[in-house]
Structure 1
């Protein structure tokens, strides 16, 4: 009788699971990244690889980006369902395109990973030294944080040149400094024998949320359950990746062969304190941070209006 009961319960469980699986609706979505597969996207790939998105009814097609990929415009124009953007891009987008609002759902980086990297031999003590010393600074001129630093430090003595990516020019010129992500460029330079000094932009007072999962306001209103599931699955993906990134790093290193596995693993470790904020859930955002970003962009004349914080993100 006991064996029969166990068999009956087992069959009931299998049938119930089959029925639930059959009735579960899977929604296909595209998630556009603004760069290639790197540690800053680890949690998204984790959620995809381990079936977390699928368990939440989502088939997420992760679409890699590259230099200049306009993810915020792609999202605003309905070309993709979800995209990775930065907080300043969202504010600027709502200022310029208020009818097709892009809204933040989940912010990976609580501290922006933007850096300026210089040669340690130059002995710079602060980021101001980089701007106010002779030499070359490679940076994308239109970046809001560069405009913020120019406003803060004044006219630079450094020769500002366009950022072309990579670290080749840095390695070949001892007076060369450049922009970057703390998880990538310093590791690449050090691997090639350079001694580097990095300065976080956030330490100077400009600290936007970075690697922000975003959607259109229209999507949030029309399909709130999908958006809720996307946020929950993404949070679980990041929890898993922060706990053990090795398997996902192995996968990403096959997609992005410009970085070796050791660099992926080191980058994943370096970024952890920039992602985890004491006393709050992964990905959470606050109105105060958004209001500060709006104020700073207004002072930099990057925007004409002042979008309200409640329109910029979903808590």
Structure 2
């Protein structure tokens, strides 16, 4: 059984690597991804039974008739952000968009459209995302870039340039992220297997959040571009984005219909989708 990731082995996937699949009668092959990995298409087409996607990808897929279902949402707060130098003295996202400079960001994504609609891009020169490359951040004072708050900001501190990070969620756009998903057909055909997968992953995240050291050492062998110190710092930084009052009472990865409905409404307003999507059909809180 395969689980397709949408990025390289990093702490955002720690719980998947820590999961005791054998305990639940499963054999799981985890396949790393990369920038632009088409995980939503892969899981929707049945190429893989499970994949990591984002909440907005699920809504867009369902609007297009691709019946993908969210099973567990690792990040309750979206870890995507915008990073610039702290020395610029910017305090809010509004400050960033109202101050002339360069912003490296992938265009055409829903959060990019949301930010453009809310703040406008008139003051900024928008350039392609460097996907983790800090070369221009290192050399340009007025430069900002999209980031994963558990990744690039840590790298920025390593090179001695303190970052100021603004969560995209602060804008009001906060889809679930690092979402374990399957197809509706696979869920209906294999309910016990899916339940076992979710239980294994949830236990894996409990283990990883409690002590990530062993899993970090394993992932570091798969992804030698990140050292163990950065693995540890990233694992610690993501905790408040994963654990909330809701997850502490209902279980890690819990999702609500209200959150899905808010996302659907935002995507319709942005004209990202033009067909109705049922919030209750976007997700299934398995084993709760």
Offset at residue 285 of structure 1 (A): 0.2
Offset at residue 142 of structure 1 (A): 1.2
Structure 1 partner of 2:131: 165
For 2:96 and 2:40, the matched residues in 1 are separated by: 31
Q: Is the 8 A contact 1:136 1:158 kept in 2?
A: yes
Structure 2 partner of 1:26: none
* CA offsets 1:13-55 (integer angstroms, 9 cap, x no match): xxxxxxxxxxxxxxxx1000000000000000001xxxx1111
Q: Alignment partner for residue 61 of structure 2, among 93, 98, 102? A: 93
Please say if 1:234 is aligned against 2:206. Answer: no
What are the within-5 Å matches in structure 2 for residues 132-147 of structure 1? 132-147=98-113
Higher RCO (C-alpha 8 Å, min separation 6): 2
Structure 1 partner of 2:178: 211
Please say if 1:54 is aligned against 2:54. Answer: no
Q: Is the 8 A contact 1:114 1:201 kept in 2?
A: yes
1:212 is paired with a residue whose SS is strand
For 2:277 and 2:165, the matched residues in 1 are separated by: 33
For 1:285 and 1:136, the matched residues in 2 are separated by: 36
2:69 is paired with a residue whose SS is strand
Offset at residue 154 of structure 1 (A): 2.3
Q: Number of aligned residue pairs: give it.
A: 281
- Taking structure 2 as the reference length, the TM-score comes to 0.96
Please say if 1:300 is aligned against 2:256. Answer: no
1:301 is paired with a residue whose SS is coil
Q: Alignment partner for residue 83 of structure 2, among 110, 117, 122? A: 117
Q: Is the 8 A contact 1:249 1:265 kept in 2?
A: yes
Structure 1 partner of 2:48: 80
Please say if 1:127 is aligned against 2:93. Answer: yes
Offset at residue 164 of structure 1 (A): 2.1
Offset at residue 211 of structure 1 (A): 0.1
Offset at residue 306 of structure 1 (A): 2.1
Unaligned runs of 5+ in 2: none
For 2:106 and 2:77, the matched residues in 1 are separated by: 20
* CA offsets 1:148-190 (integer angstroms, 9 cap, x no match): 0111112431100010212222112111100011100000011
2:27 is paired with a residue whose SS is strand
Question: Who wins on radius of gyration, i.e. which is larger?
Answer: 1
Q: Alignment partner for residue 65 of structure 1, among 12, 17, 33? A: 33
Q: Alignment partner for residue 259 of structure 2, among 289, 300, 303? A: 289
* CA offsets 1:78-115 (integer angstroms, 9 cap, x no match): 1111000000000001111x1x4110000000011011
1:59 is paired with a residue whose SS is coil
Q: Alignment partner for residue 162 of structure 2, among 177, 192, 195? A: 195
1:183 is paired with a residue whose SS is coil
1:199 is paired with a residue whose SS is strand
2:225 is paired with a residue whose SS is coil
* CA offsets 1:201-258 (integer angstroms, 9 cap, x no match): 1111101000000000001000100000000000000000000000000111111111
1:219 is paired with a residue whose SS is helix
2:100 is paired with a residue whose SS is coil
For 2:171 and 2:89, the matched residues in 1 are separated by: 19
- Taking structure 1 as the reference length, the TM-score comes to 0.88
Q: Is the 8 A contact 1:42 1:245 kept in 2?
A: yes
Unaligned runs of 5+ in 1: 1-28
